Amino acid sequence: MKFWIFRLLLLCNALNPLLVLAEEKVPVLVGLDAEFGHVTSTSDDAIKRGILIAIGEINRAGGVLDGRPLKLVERDNRSVPARAIVNVKEMAAMPDMVAVFCGKFSPVVIELLPTLHEQKMILLDPWAAADVIVDNGYRPNYVFRLSLRDSWAVPVMLKHAKDKGARQVGLLLPNTSWGRSTQKAVDNYLSAHREMKAVATHWYNWGDKTLVEKYTIMLKAGAQAIILVANEGEGSLLVKEVAALPKSERVPIISHWGVSGGDMAKMTGSALREVDFSVVQTYSFIGAKREKAHQLIDAASRQFGIPDARRIPSPVGMAHAYDLMHILAMAIDQAGSTDRATVRNALEEIKNYSGLIKDYKPPFTSARHEALRAEEVFMARYDEDGAIVRTEQAQRK
């Protein structure tokens, strides 16, 4: 009996250094506060998938800070700003929580800005597009975005309208900070492009049961195309209502990208094929040439059962989050710690990252917290199988 006790003690002593080493490898935490409780949203899961695929790659390559693994902590804000504030405060109190990713709703993120800066919490934005999220006036600024801006989306949308022969447009906007941000961008664009004109602007509220009356009023005012700012709920409602009108009353609907944060094709059904509907985007896996695109598609298939590039829900969310996560990991290593202020500074100092979407040279600077550029923005539409494709690639009948 004593012999076995002796052997056990020897084994414990031998394993002790390994146990201590394992205990030292405390995970570095990254948060995700998104609209998981929003029934029709797919952008939340897309962002999560991009983060998880990147974390898996980083951890397999040795993690960060000499071997510490990254770990995702997620919270559901149900698209309610008050919930988001509580969630971020809770995550900010967690040891080794370095940064938090947000979801798609600009109004939620805008309400978060004071809390983020009070807590010195880095916010990584892979979707929400309101300009003020980054142009927030805080110094130092803790918000870094790899996504679209309203002031980039609007010129592309209005140029698309012009290319379709529409010189007079109607604006259908949500009565939120996102709608007001877009209106400001439209006003700025039209002041420099006098050949185009907004003949009517109508506001709606989330949850409105019909939008066709506002649409009809804009047609009567002379609108030759509609600039729509909406998420998938209101976007699908308008498409179905317009598809029910006579063909002579259906003008092009040119949409901001909120609709692509849900399964727009499924929610509209056959109505989508009856309407000239296009949506602004920043990235497409379909036809992507970079090797990382193929790696990510393969990972999405293995980990989440997504069969191919055409079936990736809310593709921009997954792409943006993936690149952002890799950039954050580089900043953590460059900072040499999980101190958020130090990591924030490091995000401004990374020189180069060869990513999924492009080569970032650099991703961010002290004067620029936007990783993408206006040149990355393009118009897309839903193909017959529901895939979001560039307008020149679409095969619509």
- Report d(CA 330, CA 298) in Å as an integer: 23
Residues 261 and 190 occupy one common structural domain: yes
Model confidence pLDDT, tens digit, residues 61-79? 999 999 999 999 999 999 9
Strands 378-382 and 277-281: antiparallel
Residues 330 and 226 occupy one common structural domain: no
Model confidence pLDDT, tens digit, residues 339-396? 999 999 999 999 999 999 999 999 999 999 999 999 999 999 999 999 999 997 554 4
- Report d(CA 259, CA 283) in Å as an integer: 15
Residues 250 and 386 occupy one common structural domain: yes
The pLDDT score that the predictor gives to residue 393 is 58
**171 pLDDT more than 70:** yes
The pLDDT score that the predictor gives to residue 161 is 98
Model confidence pLDDT, tens digit, residues 310-349? 999 999 999 999 999 999 999 999 999 999 999 999 999 9
Residues 102 and 138 occupy one common structural domain: yes
Q: Please count the structural domains in the chain.
A: 2
Helices and strands, counts by H and E, the chain = 12, 14
Give the mean pLDDT of 21-38.
Answer: 85
Give the mean pLDDT of 290-301.
Answer: 97
The pLDDT score that the predictor gives to residue 13 is 54
**34 pLDDT more than 70:** yes
- To which residue do tokens 């880095």 refer? 122
Residues 92 and 189 occupy one common structural domain: no
Kindly state whether residue 14 falls inside one of the protein's structural domains: no
Residues 52 and 162 occupy one common structural domain: no
**10 pLDDT more than 60:** no
Model confidence pLDDT, tens digit, residues 38-66? 999 999 999 999 999 999 999 999 999 99
Q: Which amino acid is located at 393 in the chain?
A: Q
Q: For the domain that residue 141 is a member of, what is the CATH number? A: 3.40.50.2300
Residues 254 and 340 occupy one common structural domain: no
DSSP label at residue 268: H
Residues 97 and 242 occupy one common structural domain: no
Strand partners for 143: 123
The pLDDT score that the predictor gives to residue 24 is 63
The pTM (predicted TM-score) of the whole model is 0.92
Residues 228 and 246 occupy one common structural domain: yes
Model confidence pLDDT, tens digit, residues 76-91? 999 999 999 999 999 9
Residues 133 and 249 occupy one common structural domain: no
Kindly state whether residue 160 falls inside one of the protein's structural domains: yes
Residues 33 and 130 occupy one common structural domain: yes
The answer to whether the CB of 128 falls within 8 A of the CB of 105 is yes
Residue range(s) defining the domain that contains residue 335: 24-148+288-366
The pLDDT score that the predictor gives to residue 1 is 42
